[in-house]
Amino acid sequence: MLVFERVAIGSGHGIRCTRCHPDNESPVYHPAAQVLAAVQAVVDTWHGGPGPNVTLTGPEPFAHPELPGMVAGAIDAGVHRLRLEVDGGAFARPGNAEGALGAGVRHVQVTLLGGTEGVHDALAGGPGAFDAATTGMAALDDAIRTAGVAAIVTVLVPVCRHNVADLPAAVGAAVQAGAASVLLRLEDGGIDLEAAAPWITAACDTGVVNGVWVEVEGVPFCVLPAYDLHLASTVRATGGAKPAAVCHACPLDRVCSGGPEGASAETMSAFAPPAGAERLAQAVSRSRGGAR
Ligand code: SF4
């Protein structure tokens, strides 16, 4: 699996649930020179795997006044794969998709908070956001085909208590808009995991039947029996993932819940180790080359 190092283009966040985060601070963008110095440091210290690969993170990149120069500078600095994390809407405006591809962007991750206007717009904080995101993705897809470049568009769905019942629809919307894969990332440490599990598995199934892989981050093994292959950063070491010791109840503890939030120990106390935990832990260990 490709590793991407993250470089923040400013303080603040991209699109996220306004009910979980009612006090979303206004973004402050870093000067391009500061961002490019951080990018150069990544390139200079790249560890030797396929790359260097960089994700520009933080607030919406298309609101950064120096985005074109930053993208060009990152490519000039030697970045092999440059990924943007976006809300998608900017690509609906003429020229943006072509401009991003022409500057060297090859990976784009669009955030969807739901699979319908009703959920996405309500959580994103304004009307029109869902339509802009999906229209933008379609425009980017068209631009990729026209340019004939090898570029990929994926979707991130930050999972919380407010959108969990919309996860299958979110995956369906991502499929419709041309996403190559979908990442469901649990970002609500207090969510009712038992109630969430059927929606998460339905979302995985929606992707599979449509030929689009769905990865799940931040959910422990025992919550999704038989869906362990979908647990992205728990079974494969990914850049930035920090396995969290959530309960110490079984041999999977060291590889469980690799997402940014995961579930709290209190939440996990309601779950028991999965059947065959020891064998599963050994399989994970082998998939990591025995290092555990
Ligand atoms: S019992 Fe604990 S360590 Fe085992 S799979 Fe569940 S959360 Fe992970």
Q: Is 108 domain-assigned?
A: yes
Tokens of 104: 């060297």
**Residues of the chain under the 50 pLDDT cut:** 236-237, 239, 290-292
pLDDT for residue 246: 60
- Domain residues for the domain of 132 are 5-217
Q: Is 282 domain-assigned?
A: no
CA 59, 160, 113, 236 torsion: positive or negative? positive
Q: Is 270 domain-assigned?
A: no
Gap between the Cα atoms of 198 and 151, Å rounded: 33
pLDDT for residue 235: 52
pLDDT in tens, 12-49: 889 999 999 988 778 999 999 999 999 999 999 998 78
pLDDT for residue 257: 56
HSE at residue 37, side-chain half, CA atoms within 13 A, is: 5
For the chain, give the longest Cα–Cα distance: 54
Q: Is 183 domain-assigned?
A: yes
Domain total of the chain: 1
Closest by CA to 80, choosing from 48, 122, 121, 124, is: 48
Ligand 1 centroid distance, CA of 28 (Å): 39
Name the residue of 186, 193, 221, 248 to mutate for ligand 1: max ligand atoms within 8 A of Cβ.
221
Q: Is 164 domain-assigned?
A: yes
3-state secondary structure of 104: coil
CATH of the domain at 123: 3.20.20.70
3-state secondary structure of 219: coil
pLDDT in tens, 78-98: 999 999 999 999 999 999 999
- Map tokens 């025992």 to a residue: 222
Q: Could you give phi then psi for residue 291, rounded to 5 degrees?
A: -85, 105
251 lines ligand 1 (CB under 6 A): no
Residue nearest to atom 3 of ligand 1 (CA): 253
Predicted TM-score (pTM) of this structure: 0.88
Tokens of 98: 């072509």
Gap between the Cα atoms of 109 and 107, Å rounded: 7
> 91 with 136: CB under 8 angstroms?
yes
- Map tokens 């030797």 to a residue: 48
Q: Is 176 domain-assigned?
A: yes
Tokens of 219: 């959910």
Gap between the Cα atoms of 83 and 152, Å rounded: 9
Q: Is 235 domain-assigned?
A: no
pLDDT for residue 289: 59
